[in-house]
Amino acid sequence: MAGNGHQHHGSRLYLWVWFWLLALTAVEVFLAYIQVPLNTMLVLLMALSTVKAALIIAYFMHLRFERRSLTWTLMPPLVICIVLMIAFAFPDGFRLLEMRKG
């Protein structure tokens, strides 16, 4: 029931992941505090948040210790759909921004 690899990694691993998640959050808040220019800020925040999401999925949600086939079934569709949404929405957002500025 518990699966084969479940018991090997104890609370130490989880506490480390927790520590890193908090540290990355602190970096994000610090970026807001020192008021980094907006575009740089967005890129940095998204990069940091993606790392945090990956940590949560891999360790807390245990995907790293599941069979690879589960990862390969779940993750590509999600990533492709998000990339498609971004690819359609953002160029148009920039176009509107330029029109309104001008």
Partner 1 sequence: MADLSVNAWAGGEAPYAIKSKKLGMWLFIISDALTFSALLVAYSYSRLANPNWPTPFEIYPAITLSTIMTFCLLSSSVTMVMGVSAAHRGLRSTAVKWVLATMAGGLAFVVLHANEWIHLLHTGVTPFQNPWGVPLFGATFFTLTGLHMTHVVCGVIYLGIIAFGFGRGKFEGLDVEVAGLYWHFVDLVWMFIFPLVYLMSNKIT
CB of 11 to partner 1, least distance (A): 6
CB 90 within 8 A of CB 46: no
Determine the size of the site formed for partner 1 (CB under 8 A).
Answer: 56
The 8-class DSSP code of residue 34 comes to T
Is residue 28 within 8 Å of residue 49, measured between CB atoms?
yes
- Tell me if 43 contacts partner 1 by CB under 8 A: no
3 phi-psi bin (left φ>0, alpha ψ -120 to 50, beta other)? left
Interactions with partner 1, residue window 50-79 (CB under 8 A):
52-53, 56-57, 59-62, 66-67, 69-70, 73-74, 77-78
- Please, which of residues 8-37 interact with partner 1 by CB under 8 A? 10-11, 14-15, 17-18, 21-22, 25, 28-29, 31-33, 35
CB of 25 to partner 1, least distance (A): 6
Closest CA to 50 of 94, 81, 82: 82
